[in-house]
Structure 1
Amino acid sequence: MTDNRVVQGRMVTPGKLARIVEGDEILEADGIESADRTCPECGGDVLTVGYMPDVTAYRRGYKCQDCDWATVDDGQ
């Protein structure tokens, strides 16, 4: 796990990456990891971050390092 990574030319923390993916505030975020997959839109590298958007949920977000593509897996 890594604390900070570059996403679209900007250094982001796990919390900032989770907010980008979620589109809203989050409570807590785990470290950023490489997702070992490529972006379906541009072919760039994808990062993943686990986070809690509220006290009853845990999600894993995925975000391309090079373009705006992002998605969320809420485990359902």
Structure 2
Amino acid sequence: MKPLRKDIKPGMLVLFVQKKHQASGELTEGIVKSILTSAPSHPHGIKIMTVDKLVGRVTEILDSEVD
């Protein structure tokens, strides 16, 4: 099951799928800067923007420790 919005916080390390990689399912690792999805859940994953300004949908939380 994909993580819920309430489980994702800025500063977390996550795996996510960028739109250009949706077909292949290629995952990218990044640190959450902001959460773009307002709904509590989404079938394709919560959309986020990373500190590197990449946008994608979270598939997995790698490190929930926020610095």
TM-score (norm. length: structure 1): 0.28
* Structure holding more strand per residue: 1
Select the structure of larger CA radius of gyration. 1
Determine which structure has greater relative contact order: mean sequence separation of CA pairs < 8 Å that are 6+ residues apart, divided by chain length.
2
